[in-house]
Amino acid sequence: MFRVIVSHAKKHPSLIPLFLIIGSGGVGAALYVMRLAVFNPDVCWDKKNNPEPWNKLAPNDQYKFYSVNVDYSKLKKDRPDF
């Protein structure tokens, strides 16, 4: 598959930006899915030692990728302990 892409890029050099953009989009999507699988509190990989990891989140833990108006360091605890 890689040889086909290289041969097409040699024949038609105008396709190189297209290959770079599509490749970087695929890599970015794969990295984002890997980030969700590793750092999202809804995903539980170790059910024996930590069956409910979402209960151990503090209110000032930022688990969103991007937050527009919320400063997580200034939030106070407003929920009960479980």
pLDDT of the residue at 59: 66
Domain boundaries, the chain: 1-38, 43-81
List the structure tokens of 76.
């106070």
- Indicate if the pLDDT at residue 6 is higher than 80: yes
Question: Which DSSP string corresponds to 7-50?
Answer: HHHHH-GGGHHHHHHHHHHHHHHHHHHHHHHHH-TT--S-TTT-
Query: DSSP letter at 65?
Result: S
> 4 or 71: whose pLDDT is higher?
4
Q: State residue 62's pLDDT score.
A: 64
Model confidence pLDDT, tens digit, residues 10-68: 999 998 899 999 999 999 999 999 988 888 777 777 777 777 777 777 666 666 676 77
